[in-house]
Amino acid sequence: MVVEQQLLPYFQWLLTGGEKSLGALPSFAFVFLGVAMAALVIGFAIAASRYGFLRGGDVTYKTISEGLRELLQTSPRRVWAIARLAIKESLRRRVAVALGVFFLVLLFANWFLSTNHQEPARLYLSFVLTASTYLVLGVALLLSAFSLPGDFKTKTIYTVVTKPVRAGEIILGRIIGFMIVITVLLAIMGVGSYIFVVRSLDHSHTVELESFQVVANPAGEEVGKKGTTSRDAGHRHELTLDKDGNGETTVENGHTHRIESLGENKYRVSPPLGFIRARVPQYGKLRFIDRSGAAKDTGISVGSEWTYRSFIDGNTPATAIWTFDNVSDAVDPNVPEDERSLPLSLIVRVFKTHKGVIGQALQGTIQLRNPDPAANGLTSEPLSFDAQDQQVDDFNIPRKQYSQSRQEIDLFKDLVSKDGKIEVLVKCLDRGQYFGFAQADCYIRHPDGSPIASFAKVCVSIWVQAVIVVSVGVTISTLVSGPVAMLFVVGFIILGFWRQDFVDIATGKSYGGGPAESVVRIATQANVMVQLEDTLLNNLVTGFDKYFAKPIMWAVAQTLPDFRSFSTVRYAADGYNVPWDRVFQDVTVCLGYVVGLSIIGYFLLRTREVAK
């Protein structure tokens, strides 16, 4: 799975942030202050233009102080009344249709989703979860953007605001009401999706008795059987049975089956196992040694534009080195102590410059090394493996290892340093071929989490996105009509999705300049790399971008959520557990938006003429 940004532990994320980022709480405070100042200035400007300078100041002051007072008078009963109304309104506006659409989509999905695929679970999971995301976001958008404008249009808002209900309660109640609707929708869709995936991938095999071969030990006693299963759902498994006729199949298309003997050549094959997984990786830190043996932060580029992975050359000293912290033999405490191993997973991106030997996989090696200087670079014997492009390769490296001078060593005692660190060295053996790695491509594999829990966490991340959409929709719809509010929210989602690119333009990281310069480039057909001529017009345009457009873009970007990072669909699709830190961070961000937008919504609703 691609992990571009390391996930920080929750409290570090909240308070202090990472190396290049600020903590979430301080950032929130800064953005909040920034928005508050901007709102104050704009609010005062409008009031002053309407009532004059002094009276405008007075009005502004009164609005704010009254706002603070009314905040304290918020009544849960009134908020709940509005929330109930929002729920009833949603039902009247037939949100249930969304569920109908969803199940219809699932019905037809089987037509174009195929189980005869290398990883059908990835296909199915990403499909159903993406479909749920779009549907729920669509519902959130429509419900929130048209709710308040509807009340203005039918003038029902007149009878509401002439009750003691506070403007903030009208906003917050709506957000909560729609949040509940979305929670229910998502719960139904989630359960439906899960059942759909499990049922769609479900299949069984029979055991092909004629393929059976006896497996004997060197003494000639029968220890089990080998054979294959029948071909079903586009694949067959090989199987190994023990003396009693029980056993397991090989992994095909991302799953296995368990086989149980029923006596007299009758076998029961279990439903597929391991389709939906929740791997729990522990990531390390990656560095490289290049072909001349020099240390590097990155490997070499093989020309692909995306710099996420970098490559090592085969049959040279080039090595990818991961350093892991907190390594102990207690990764899986259920295993007896002397049988414990280091569960390591590796994903290799294979880049071939020549065909090599047809039908034979590229070879690589894994070695373990003690990073403690006192250990003098004690390294284990290389363990070779077949590299399959983009496949997760699971190793269990036994604790009994040999040093390069063929002495028996213990993985956890000798190769792990005192402070719990270990280095994993990976090389490519084939000359002229390359292995590509990113930091997240090698990890210590903790016991799998519950797939259902992980799936539920993905649903929470969809929920977070929907709630943010609802908050934005309700807030902006205090000011504009339904269709305009909808366009605004769509713009918000799109900008949020491309937030990073937006910031890159604002900070001058991307080529081609700001919006005005882009217009000039489009008009004059100058591509982004061409130097613009030094004319007055061009200088004016770039100056406009630099001193006006880009600062505004930067400021706007600060308030945008990074929608792309909310999506945890790929965790489920790739079979990884969604970390709790991720869930808590997303829910916290969501809460921040609900609070911030409710406050903005309060002032927008409070300062507008309801009967306009």
Partner 1 sequence: MSEEIILQTRALSKVYRDFWGRQKVRALKGLDLEVRRGEVFGLLGPNGSGKTTTIKLLLGLLFPTEGEALVFGKPASDVAKNERLGYLPEESYLYRFLTADETLDFYGRLFDMPSDVRRQRIDELIEMVGLQKARKRQLQEYSKGMTRRIGLAQALINDPELIMLDEPTSGLDPIGTREMKDMILRLKDEGKTIVMCSHLLADVQDVCDRIAILHQGELKELGRVDELLKVADVTQIRAKNLSVDCQRELRDVISRHHGELVSLDNPTTTLEELFLEIVRDSEARPGRRAGVK
Residue ranges in contact with partner 1 by CB under 8 A: 66, 70, 75, 77-78, 80-81, 84-85, 88-89, 92, 154-167, 609-612
- N- to C-terminal Cα distance for the chain? 53
The DSSP annotation for 394-420 comes to EEEEESEEEBTTS-EEEIIIIIS-TTS
* Choice between 47 and 135, CB closer to partner 1: 47
CB 449 within 8 A of CB 278: yes
**Packing angle between helix 53-72 and helix 167-201, nearest 10 degrees?**
60
Taking the alpha carbons of 175, 176, 181, 185 in that order, is the dihedral positive or negative? positive
Backbone angles phi, psi at 89, to 5 degrees: -65, -40
Structure tokens at 542: 């770039």
Query: Minimum distance from CB of 67 to partner 1 (Å)?
Result: 11
Minimum CB separation of residue 490 from partner 1 in Å reads 23
- Minimum CB distance to partner 1 smaller for 92 or for 355: 92
Q: How far is the CB of 610 from partner 1 (least distance, A)?
A: 5
Pick the closer one to partner 1 by CB: 66 or 238.
Answer: 66
Residue closest to 414 by CA, chosen among 366, 382, 374: 374
CB-wise, 149 or 436, nearer to partner 1?
Answer: 149
What sign does the dihedral 107-113-118-119 (CA atoms) show?
negative
* Of residues 77 and 413, the one with the C-beta less far from partner 1: 77
Question: What is the smallest separation between the CB atom of 50 and partner 1, expressed in angstroms?
Answer: 9
Cα–chain center distance at 222 = 49
CB of 477 to partner 1, least distance (A): 17
Distances (CA, A) of 385 to 365, 427, 595: 6, 10, 53
Cα–Cα distances in angstroms (integers) from residue 10 to residues 13, 233, 605, in the given order? 5, 43, 35
Q: CB of 44: closest distance to partner 1 in angstroms?
A: 16
Compute, in degrees rounded to 10, the torsion defined by CA atoms 581, 582, 586, 587: -50
State the nearest-atom distance from the C-beta of 180 to partner 1, in Å.
16
**Shortest distance in whole angstroms from residue 184 CB to partner 1:** 18
Contact 437, 349 (CB under 8 A): yes
Contacts of residue 532, defined as CB under 8 A and 6 or more positions apart, other chains included, come to: 517, 520, 521, 526, 538, 542
Closer to partner 1 by CB, 63 or 126: give it: 63
Taking CA 82 as the corner, what is the angle to CA 77 and CA 84, rounded to the nearest 5 degrees?
A: 90
> Closer CB to partner 1, residue 63 or residue 315?
63
Q: Which is nearer to partner 1, 49 or 206 (CB)?
A: 49
Q: What are φ and ψ of residue 459, in 5° steps?
A: -60, -35
Q: For residue 228, what is the enclosing H or E element?
A: strand 222-228
- Nearer to partner 1 (CB atom), residue 169 or residue 430: 169
Give alpha helix (H) positions in 477-579.
Answer: 482-497, 499-506, 515-524, 536-544, 550-559, 563-566, 569-574
| Residue 232 C-beta-side C-alpha neighbours within 13 Å | 17
Minimal distance in Å, beta carbon 53 to partner 1? 17
Nearest distance from C-beta of residue 164 to partner 1, angstroms: 5
Give every CB contact of residue 3 below 8 A, 6+ residues apart in sequence.
283, 438, 439, 440
Q: State the nearest-atom distance from the C-beta of 36 to partner 1, in Å.
A: 22
Query: Hunting for tokens 């090592």 — which residue is that?
Result: 312
In angstroms, what is the minimal distance from the CB of 142 to partner 1? 17
- In the complex with partner 1, the residue whose CB is nearer, 155 or 285, is 155
As measured in angstroms, the least distance from the Cβ of 162 to partner 1 is 5
Distance between CA atoms of residues 521 and 515, nearest Å: 10
Of 426, 433, 424, 422, nearest to 385 by C-alpha is 426
Lookup: tokens for 328:
């102990």
Tokens for 142, please give them: 């429509």
Q: Which is nearer to partner 1, 66 or 419 (CB)?
A: 66
Q: Contact, 363 vs 385, CB < 8 A?
A: yes
The least distance separating partner 1 from the CB of residue 52, rounded to whole angstroms, comes to 12
Measured from the CB atom, the residue of 75 and 450 that comes closer to partner 1 is 75
Half-sphere exposure of 202 (CA within 13 A, CB side): 9
Which residues, other chains included, contact 45 with Cβ-Cβ below 8 Å and sequence gap of 6+? none
Residue number with CB closer to partner 1 (73 or 328): 73
- When the beta carbons of 282 and 481 are compared against partner 1, the nearer one is 481
Query: Nearest CA to 277 among 2, 572, 1?
Result: 572
Least Å from the CB of residue 476 to partner 1: 18
Whose Cβ is closer to partner 1: residue 162's or residue 213's?
162
